Amino acid sequence: MNKKYRKTIIAGNWKMNLVPSEVKAFADELRAFLPKARTCEVALLVPYTHISTLRRALKDNRIGFGAQDVSARDKGAYTGEVSADMLSDMNAHYVIVGHSECRQYHGDTDFTVGEKAAAVLGKGMCPIICVGESLEQRERGLTMAYTTYQVLAALSYIPEGKERQIVIAYEPIWAIGTGRTASPEEAGEVCAGIRAVLRAKRGARAARSVSILYGGSMNPGNAKTLLSMPDIDGGLIGGASLKPRDFSQIVDAVALAAQEA
Ligand code: PEP
């Protein structure tokens, strides 16, 4: 983390879990556990159908809301899609683009991910652009080459000067939902590499302003050491974000990691 130059963000990705009628109980529990004095931004990225309900249930709790995907198109005959305009009208702040599950199941490519990021930015919201290698790519020594390519592809859709408004999430695919976490050194090294790519393309000021999150089985037990790495500015949390106590403990870990820095 480097709080002088950029935000620390703990964002929960609910994926396709909970039904709207379960949201209020979740919110009550979360409110009870979340630390009152927070040293980071907290956000919940939930199914489209839950955004309004959750916002109402957690109003006045300084939590940002958002979605897990978006259409790259503006409007029109795209049955089943949800546009950036619709999300901004619901006061969404963050939108995940390029999650590995969307790349795997919905055919997102590095180019559609870039288009989606641009659509989100165009409506004044913040895209959380996910990148990360597969196990095979890691084992073949291609981690940095592959994530560099993904970052460059997404960046080619981001106008100069808008870097401060994006977030990048490094999510090694082999660590998502598997209980297997990248070590702090492994994750920190890739996040530092991503920042170096940003620096080379957009300059030092832009590079140091971008929050880079780590995602992949982050939990209360490993959060503090991961968040202690200088280029890891928070977490994108899947499974643990569905457990209010665990999610809150990860938020607490930000303060503990900062104390040790
Ligand atoms: C995710 O879905 O973005 C994620 C990091 O999931 P998990 O924390 O469950 O690995």
Best mutation site among 69, 178, 218 for ligand 1 pocket (most ligand atoms within 8 Å of CB):
218
- The residues lining ligand 1, judged by C-beta closer than 6 Å to any ligand atom, are 13, 15, 171, 176-177, 215-218, 236-240
The CB-side HSE value for 191 (13 A sphere, CA atoms) comes to: 31
Residue 231: per-residue pLDDT: 97
**d(CA 18, ligand 1 centre) in Å:** 16
Within the chain, what is the greatest distance between any pair of CA atoms?
53
Q: Is the CB of residue 128 less than 8 Å from the CB of residue 97?
A: yes
CATH class of the structural domain 3-260: alpha beta
How does DSSP classify residue 106? S
Residues 92-133: tens digit of each pLDDT: 999 999 999 999 999 999 999 999 999 999 999 999 999 999
Section 216-233 average pLDDT:
96
**What is the Cα–Cα distance from 163 to 172, expressed in whole angstroms?**
22
pLDDT (tens digit per residue) in 60-92: 889 999 999 999 999 999 999 999 999 999 999
Where do we find the tokens 């890739």?
190
State in Å: Cα 76 to ligand 1 middle: 32
Region 126-148: mean pLDDT is 97
In whole angstroms, how far apart are CA 238 and each of 48, 115, 131, 164, 202? 16, 24, 15, 24, 30
101, 236, 249, best to mutate for ligand 1 pocket (most atoms within 8 Å of CB): 236
Contact yes or no for 155/113 (Cβ under 8 A): no
Task: Supply the pLDDT for residue 253.
Answer: 95
Judging by beta carbons within 10 Å of its beta carbon (0-12, 13-18, 19+), is residue 255 exposed, middle or buried? middle
State the pTM of this model.
0.96
Give the closest residue (by CA) to ligand 1 atom 1.
238
- Model confidence at 38, in pLDDT bands (50, 70, 90)? confident
Any alpha helices (H) in 66-142, and if so which ranges? 84-89, 100-105, 110-122, 135-139
C-alpha torsion sign, points 69, 59, 7, 258: negative
- What residues are annotated to the active site? 99, 171
Tokens of 96: 């995940």
How many C-beta atoms lie closer than 10 Å to residue 46's C-beta? 27
Number of residues assigned to the chain: 261
